[in-house]
Amino acid sequence: MPETNGAPKIGVYVCHCGVNIAAKVNIPEVVEFARTLPFVTVARDYKFMCSDPGQELIQQDLREGRVNRVVVASCSPLMHEATFRRATAEGGQNPFFFHMANIREHVSWVTADEHKATEKAKALIAAAVRRVAFHEPLEKKRVPVHPHVLIVGGGIAGIEAALKIAEAGKKVYLVEREPTIGGHMAQFDKCFPTLDCAACILTPKMTQVRAHPNIKLLTYSEVESVEPYDLRNFKVTIRRKARYVNEDVCTGCGLCADVCPVTVPSEFDEGLGTRKAIYRPFPQAVPNVFTISRRGTPPCQAACSIHQNAQGYITLIAHGKFKEALDVILRDNPLPSICGRICTHPCTVNCTRGTVDEPLNIPGLKRFITDLFPDYKLPTPTKERPEKIAIVGSGPAGLMCAYELRQRGYKPVIFEAQPVAGGMLSVGIPSFRLPRDVITKEINRLKEIGIEIKTNTPVGKAITLEQLRQQYAAVFIAIGAHVERKLKVPGEDLPGVFGGIEFLRRVNLEGPFNLGERVLVIGGGNSAVDAARTALRCGAKEVTMVYRRTRAEMPADPKEIEAAEEEGVKMLFLAAPKTILGNKETGVTALECLKMKLGAPDASGRPAPEPIPGSEFVLSCDAIIVTIGQVPDIASLGERLGLETTTWGTFKVDDVTLETNVPGVFAGGDCVTGPDVVVNAMYAGKKAAISIDRYLNKLDMRAGREREGPYRTEYTIDTSGTPLQKQIPMPAIELARRRTFEEVHTGYTKELAIAEAKRCLDCGICCDCRLCATVCEAKAINYEMKDEIQEIVVGSIILATGFKLFDARRIPRYGYGKYPNVYTALEVERMTNSAGPTGGEIRLRDGRKPKAVGIIHCVGSRDRNYNSYCSRVCCLYSLKLAHLIKERTGAEVYNFYIDMRVPGKAYEEFYDRMLEEGIHFIRGRVAEVTDHAMTPDEEGKLVIRAEDTLIGVIRRIPVDMVVLAVGLEPQADADEVRRKFYISCGSGGFFLERHPKLAPVQTFADGIFIAGACQGPKDIQDTVAQAGAAAAEVLSLIDRGFVELEPNTAFIQEELCSGCKTCIPLCPFSAISFNSDKGVAAINEALCKGCGTCVAACPSGAAQQHLFTDEQIYQEIEGVLSYV
Amino acid sequence: MKEWQSWPRFRYEAELDLRFPEEVASMPGGRALFACIQCGTCSGTCPLGTYMDYSPRKIIAMTRAGFKDEVLHSFTIWLCASCYACAVECPRKIKITDFMAELKQRAIQEGVYPKRFPVAVLAREFFDTVRKRGRSTESRLVLRLYAKTNPLKIFNQALLGLKLLRTGRFSLRAESVKNRQQIDQLLRAVDAVKATTFVDRLAREVHRGEVARV
Amino acid sequence: MKYLYYPGCSLKGTSRGYEESVLAAFEALGVAVDELEDWNCCGATAYMAVDEMKAFALAARNLALAELQDGSEHPTLIAPCSGCYLVLSKTQHYLQEYSEVSRMIDGALQAARLRYARTVHVRHPLDILINEIGVQEIARKVRQPLQGLKVASYYGCQIVRPYAAFDDQVNPKTMDNLMQALGAETVDWPLKTRCCGGSLMGTLPEVGVPLSYILLKEALKRGADVVATACPLCQFNLECYQDKMSHQFKERIEIPVVYFTQLLGLALGVSERRLGMHRLLVPMPTVRGGTRPHA
């Protein structure tokens, strides 16, 4: 036993704590018992040991040498350990020669039986006595408190605290997640009970915050993490969310919002008003700058292989800004008038509107713009480069590649074997879908910006690949897939049997020719459908498509199939050709088919057709067009520099860079993928261009290309309540005229286009049209802005994160969200605000003034199904709203309450005033709000059913407007936040204070304080008071400049340490190092936080912890046991 | 309109049964009774509230105050159609419907409901049939009910009766389980095992109730 | 999946049409159901009024029998009558919640040489149709869509309150979804779950009749052609007292009140007779699109 201050003379002091302890514990008996314990020289009791006279008892005994160690048996150490340590110190002993036995929380309050209580008290005292005998003198460590302060939450609490602290000359960081500070209070009109204007009180404070030199305001920012910086201070990581507007430059002029075409419901107006995608919550916002809401790339744009910004031009069309729409289109697409007609539009497949009724006709809208500006020009390159690049094939892949390269300043030269440019566009697609002049125009535009196209120049004959490779900086092969697949059935070579592409090419290049009356088209792809429709236009009377699967499996675009059927094309499903009948003279006369049935899915994921044996049947016909797919004509290239190919006869390329096995030679489009849609060919061209550019600049060709090509967006959009409005069909020429090659669809008119465009749901919110940038004189807008991470060090933190309102939808009986004239209190609050959506007018959805209004109290409060606590403010704000409604509309106002709760200065008087104003008060919780009318005068009204519990009758009260006094709830992410800041949540999920009376704004985490509604529902008065209290706590900390830490740090008994190093990695604060000279662990006391991990882990018991040495703990246990 | 003399001037504590609330609260989940804040949601929600002599809220208040006689004599408890609307809406999660059932049971035990009062009679008839046969036969039940309460009703319901007969919805053949013995064992056992629990009292009273015919 | 079926007393009596249509509809959907052998009265609400504990005991016997008959790990017992559904579910709930009830019932069962291992899952046909079979599947099997028929789905009280977890207690949707899947139009009305008067119709008609009247009046007002119910008592009260209502309130109250399973059957192409339509006192009108397959 350590003899640091002579033989132990222990004084035991038993506290009555009034009757708290005395009522259960037999004090005299306990004191008697204490006297019998070893080393105990004095045992006394007193009514309140914590009082001055109580402490004096202890100090006297110490001073007069009767006692040198102290045990106080009273309340929890949380309450008075500090008090008695101080007393011990003032008595002239080291404060750690003291120990506390908790006989209140642990005994008298929780033990029913008095005898048991007394016995337990004895046991605890016995334990304390044995323990304290082994206490040693310890010194408290002082750690400096960093003078900087972090305040989280820019509502009235945060603002108030920030100003107080800043005024005292301390540096404050105020972090707010919204674009402006002000919180809920900024939404209010008047404040109870004085009915003074919220803005008049708040806005000056807000501007002060902005202006104050000691306050660093970080709006639109969130705290990412809080880590210990040293023993006492914090390292805080803050994410500054991208505003896409430079806060320091923006003047808040608002021109951007004027031109912004995207309108969304305003959060600040609780959805009663609207705002733009680039917005400022309200005119007095601080900081007075704008922010762009971006949800992310819209699904349509993400799904598009070339990421055409559809939402952008659609929104602009909806606003009649057609020229601007064209600019947006040309940003990513040099062939819009072609895509607008024949693109298979994956964008519409992913269009969110499709989940509501029908997707938008996105290509149709693009075509509308290109039709509107038939002579638009492509952007000309801004720089020039010497390199020439050879492109083989002038299909969409080749053209796109050429365009992209040209924009980068290169000089692309396209080699085309056919007499016309355009590849499959010109030879494979019939002109009634894609008029020739449209293609010609697009190609001329490309020529105009300096792209050279050599037609009738087949590579492999006119010039070899090898020559290209030598004469050009790089080569891109995009020869498409033009060789027909064969049916491989007898008779395929008979006259009258055509390949689909061969047929289309002939019609496209030489014009229509007679096929005979009955034509069969084999296949189910887009080309097959084109062939069928073309056959009709060649004069065939009866055209039938023969497909071996069913309609569901047809690869062709459903809209095209529909169109074909409209024009009279017949469909024959589940049939496959077996033999083509006829002879050299007659040519083909009939087709023998087999019936098929669908079997297990094949490689393509579609059910594989299986022939039904013996199901043969014969279709007579004059011509057969076989359109079952094509392969690239690689052979035509002649010698091929040893380019690798696949078993399907396509080129083998790196799928990220499209580079072939020959450096500098790239390939893409159908000749790599096999027959595919136009937009994917263009994608390949673009991809190749990017690779070639990097190749020529010796850059990494693979880096950062993940987001190229189609992908699905992660976010989901709430489409509930979207009024149904199906797609507006695009006008087309009447059926009778669909026997010529006249274009079928005539395109949208302005009116139709605008109407169709208005169906867009603004998935991305900001549509990236970039109009705002064009009007911003300050040049503040930056679409490339990224979130920034900022690190700060602070010594204290105040959490003032506020509350959220109860979601009234959770109580369906009150009809919120069902009946339009049921509002939440905050919605009406906005209406009463002269700066609000209705300019201070209280009206119903249809604009009428309400004649009768019912205010329902306790919505979501005092209800064990939702929140069992009282939200404290609802009664009063209901009174306030009642007054304002009556004042502004003269309506009869009914308050339905359970109990009126109006405690607080001048609140009762406010209630009196409302009573006198003639507002109706009905004591009874509303059972139901319904539109079920039982009498004529209830017709068309909302009926409130409730028992008037004072009169004792059940009443039905018809009103025009219902106001739900929704309660206050913790923020949705309160739990996440409290983890971040190492604090806890109490009942109801609000942040827990250290002690409701002794430490109402402290938390259990040193240096972290709470203020306002995040600690529990409270009104502005109490919030401001708490903010002041929190500020005072912080200031007193900073001015003292240091905190004393429990000296409960760990230490190593070197003689015992085996140097096993177990403890070193375990220490969460890396306070343990290895002393290699001595071969033992060493603990840096400055870093140790006294968590005890190493003590528990040490196999040899060398690691010990002050205040918790093994001996002390064993003695305590012994003490308890010895008595039991 | 009552005679003014008959209006009670005071309710003296001595007239009340202060054991009553505790007894009632001894039903499963019954303690919730004391959590009532008299908000009246139950009364407002109740589709029959307007027909009741005391609203459900009052019944709870009166029970808690020990107004045993008024509560057990009230129409309210017999008007409860067990639609549970109040129970799901109650902000204090009081099982009001079950609480009404408890009071019905007590009224029957004490035999304090009005003689020939149909609701109680129906319950009783139902009880006996099922006890005997394990199943009830609606047709017979109804006839017995009318016989016991207001025989004339049978006539003004005759037309409906005929319609039902015609559509084969009113067969007089008595339904019954095969294993009647098992039903008997089961129900006797319930009486028997009610030794020490709260239903003990209730069991005996019900038994008495059965003997004492209405 | 195989289900046990608990008819309860009413489905053998005044609401035979319910039993017929439930069985026929399930058959048409290819779902097999076995009637619980030697089932007894569920312990219905009226019984509760006399001796709750005996009600639990009776319900428990049915549950015990279900385990015996089915033998699978979690037998599912379908109870179409909302009274039975409630009592059986309530018994389950009380056996869970209150040990004293649990002890007593186990004792009683033992005396009757029965044992209940708490494995049975009591469910309403609506629950099975929506959550097991699914509306898409049902829609796929529709042969005579109920084109142009305006249905007021009436859930009544006890299938949604207080123990049912398969639908919203205040604003249930399952029956409406089902009806829409059958091609019918559903009227949105606020009395979906308002009490019909229950057994009061028989005992205190002066109270019962007005309650049912309020329901039908509102259904008519909202343009319903037919009221679909899921409870024998609701159907009886709403259908059989229409004359009384008309007489008492001096206005014509006439609207067919059918079991939702009858409409389901019709849409699936089951004959009217097999659905017990001929037992209706107020016959179903022929509606546009010809909803009535001829037997």
Say what the pLDDT of residue A600 is.
83
Query: Which candidate from C168, C171, C190 shows the least CB-CB separation from A932?
Result: C190
Query: Which candidate from C43, C104, C197 shows the least CB-CB separation from B81?
Result: C197
B187: which chain C residues are within 8 Å (Cβ-Cβ)?
54, 57-58, 108
Higher pLDDT, B152 or C84: C84
Say what the pLDDT of residue C45 is.
59
pLDDT band at residue B204 using 50, 70 and 90 as cut-offs: very low
Say what the pLDDT of residue C47 is.
64
Q: Is A997 helix (H, G, I), strand (E, B) or coil?
A: coil
Query: Does the structure show a pLDDT above 90 at A751?
Result: yes
Say what the pLDDT of residue C3 is.
94
Distance from CA of A952 to the nearest CA of B (A): 8
> Average pLDDT for residues A161-170, to the nearest whole number?
97
H helix or E strand, kind and range, residue A161 = helix A156-167
Interface touch A934/C191, C-beta < 8 Å = no
Query: Which candidate from C38, C158, C203 shows the least CB-CB separation from B178?
Result: C38
pLDDT band at residue A229 using 50, 70 and 90 as cut-offs: confident
Interface touch A813/C170, C-beta < 8 Å = yes
Q: Minimal CA–CA distance to C81: which of C25, C35, C42?
A: C42
Q: Which residues are within 8 A (CB) of C8 and not within 5 positions of it... i.e. 6 or more apart?
A: C39, C41, C42, C44, C79, C80, C81, C83, C84, C232
Say what the pLDDT of residue A949 is.
97
Say what the pLDDT of residue A651 is.
93
> Average pLDDT for residues A148-160, to the nearest whole number?
98
Q: Find the residue in B nearest to A900 (Cα).
A: B39
Distance from CA of C116 to the nearest CA of B (A): 13
In this predicted complex, what is the ipTM? 0.89
pLDDT digits (tens, 9 = 90+) for B96-120: 999 998 998 888 888 887 665 677 7
pLDDT digits (tens, 9 = 90+) for A91-117: 999 999 999 999 999 999 999 999 999
B51: which chain C residues are within 8 Å (Cβ-Cβ)?
207
pLDDT band at residue A1084 using 50, 70 and 90 as cut-offs: confident
Burial degree of C99 (CB within 10 A; 0-12, 13-18, 19+): exposed
Taking CA atoms, A574 is separated from A535, A577, A608, A615, in Å, by 22, 10, 11, 11
Say what the pLDDT of residue A326 is.
96
Interatomic CA distance for residues A813 and A810, integer angstroms: 9
pLDDT digits (tens, 9 = 90+) for C228-261: 999 999 999 999 999 999 999 999 999 999 999 9
pLDDT digits (tens, 9 = 90+) for C55-69: 999 999 999 999 999
Query: Does the structure show a pLDDT above 60 at C291?
Result: no
Higher pLDDT, B156 or B163: B163
Say what the pLDDT of residue B198 is.
44
Say what the pLDDT of residue B213 is.
32
Q: Does A943 touch chain B (CB under 8 A)?
A: no
Query: Does the structure show a pLDDT above 80 at A604?
Result: no
Cα angle for residues C192, C194, C200 (degrees, 5° grid)? 135
Cα angle for residues A855, A858, A860 (degrees, 5° grid)? 120
pLDDT band at residue A1122 using 50, 70 and 90 as cut-offs: confident
Interface touch A927/B41, C-beta < 8 Å = yes
Interface touch B189/C211, C-beta < 8 Å = no
pLDDT digits (tens, 9 = 90+) for A531-585: 999 999 999 999 999 999 988 889 898 888 999 999 999 999 999 999 999 988 8
Please write down the HEC assignment for all residues of A935-948: CHHHCCCEEEEEEE
Say what the pLDDT of residue B211 is.
33
pLDDT band at residue B5 using 50, 70 and 90 as cut-offs: low
Q: Please name the residue that has the structure tokens 């094309």.
A: A569
Residue C32 β-bridge partners? C2
pLDDT digits (tens, 9 = 90+) for A1048-1062: 999 999 999 999 999
Say what the pLDDT of residue B114 is.
65
Please write down the HEC assignment for all residues of chain B: CCCHHHCCCCCCHHHCCCCHHHHHHCCCCHHHHHHCCCCCHHHHHCCCHHHCCCCHHHHHHHHHHCCHHHHHHCCHHHHCCCCCHHHHHCCCCCCHHHHHHHHHHHHHHHCCCCCCCHHHHHHHHHHHHHHHHCCCCHHHHHHHHHHHHCCHHHHHCHHHHHHHHHCCCCCCCCCCCCCHHHHHHHHHHHHHHCCCCCHHHHHHHHHHHHHCCC
Interatomic CA distance for residues A311 and A332, integer angstroms: 13
Interatomic CA distance for residues C271 and A869, integer angstroms: 57
pLDDT digits (tens, 9 = 90+) for B44-59: 999 999 999 999 999 9
> Average pLDDT for residues C161-183, to the nearest whole number?
90
> Average pLDDT for residues A802-806, to the nearest whole number?
97
Say what the pLDDT of residue A141 is.
83
pLDDT digits (tens, 9 = 90+) for A699-708: 999 998 988 8
Query: Does the structure show a pLDDT above 70 at C46?
Result: no
Mutation target vs C (from B126, B129, B191, B206; most C CBs, 10 A cutoff): B126
Contact present, A307 and A332 (Cβ < 8 Å): yes
pLDDT digits (tens, 9 = 90+) for C25-40: 999 999 999 999 999 9
pLDDT band at residue C286 using 50, 70 and 90 as cut-offs: low
Say what the pLDDT of residue B205 is.
47
pTM: 0.85
Query: Does the structure show a pLDDT above 70 at B197?
Result: no
Say what the pLDDT of residue A605 is.
77
> Average pLDDT for residues A752-774, to the nearest whole number?
95
> Average pLDDT for residues C281-292, to the nearest whole number?
64
Q: Which residues are within 8 A (CB) of C206 and not within 5 positions of it... i.e. 6 or more apart?
A: none
Q: Please name the residue that has the structure tokens 């996440």.
A: A976
Say what the pLDDT of residue B112 is.
83
Q: Find the residue in A nearest to C219 (Cα).
A: A932
Mutation target vs B (from C82, C203, C275; most B CBs, 10 A cutoff): C203
Instruction: Please count the residues of chain A.
Output: 1124
Higher pLDDT, A640 or C182: C182
Residue type at A148 in one-letter notation: H
Interface touch B43/A865, C-beta < 8 Å = no
Higher pLDDT, B143 or A767: A767
Say what the pLDDT of residue A1089 is.
81
Higher pLDDT, A228 or A858: A858
Say what the pLDDT of residue A182 is.
96
Q: Please name the residue that has the structure tokens 């019932």.
A: C105
- The top-scoring range by mean pLDDT among A207-221, A571-585, A976-990 is A207-221
Taking CA atoms, A265 is separated from A269, A274, A1065, B204, in Å, by 8, 4, 53, 66
- The top-scoring range by mean pLDDT among A902-911, B167-176, C1-10 is A902-911
Distance from CA of B25 to the nearest CA of C (A): 14
Interatomic CA distance for residues C228 and C179, integer angstroms: 9
> Average pLDDT for residues A527-533, to the nearest whole number?
94
Residue type at A115 in one-letter notation: H
C193: which chain B residues are within 8 Å (Cβ-Cβ)?
85
pLDDT band at residue B152 using 50, 70 and 90 as cut-offs: low
A931: which chain C residues are within 8 Å (Cβ-Cβ)?
190
Say what the pLDDT of residue A1 is.
47
pLDDT band at residue B175 using 50, 70 and 90 as cut-offs: confident
Cα angle for residues A544, A547, A550 (degrees, 5° grid)? 115
Percent of chain A past pLDDT 90, that is, above it, reads 85
Burial degree of A938 (CB within 10 A; 0-12, 13-18, 19+): middle
Least confident of A680-689, A709-718, A791-800, B16-25: A709-718
Q: Does A901 touch chain B (CB under 8 A)?
A: no
Query: Does the structure show a pLDDT above 80 at A926?
Result: yes
pLDDT band at residue C164 using 50, 70 and 90 as cut-offs: confident
Contact present, B86 and B55 (Cβ < 8 Å): no
Query: Does the structure show a pLDDT above 70 at A340?
Result: yes
Q: Does A488 touch chain C (CB under 8 A)?
A: no
B37: which chain A residues are within 8 Å (Cβ-Cβ)?
862, 898-899
User: Within 10 A of A349 (CB to CB), how many other CB atoms are there?
Assistant: 12
Say what the pLDDT of residue A698 is.
94
Percent of chain B past pLDDT 70, that is, above it, reads 79
Q: What DSSP line would sit under A798-855, residue for residue? A: EE---EEE--GGG-GGG-TTTSTTEEEHHHHHHHHSTTSTTTT----TTSPPPSEEEE
Contact present, B84 and C28 (Cβ < 8 Å): no
Query: Does the structure show a pLDDT above 60 at B203?
Result: no
Alpha-helical segments (H) within A568-705:
670-673, 678-696
Q: Find the residue in A nearest to B93 (Cα).
A: A864
Burial degree of C287 (CB within 10 A; 0-12, 13-18, 19+): middle
Percent of chain A past pLDDT 70, that is, above it, reads 100
> Average pLDDT for residues B164-192, to the nearest whole number?
85
Query: Does the structure show a pLDDT above 50 at A453?
Result: yes
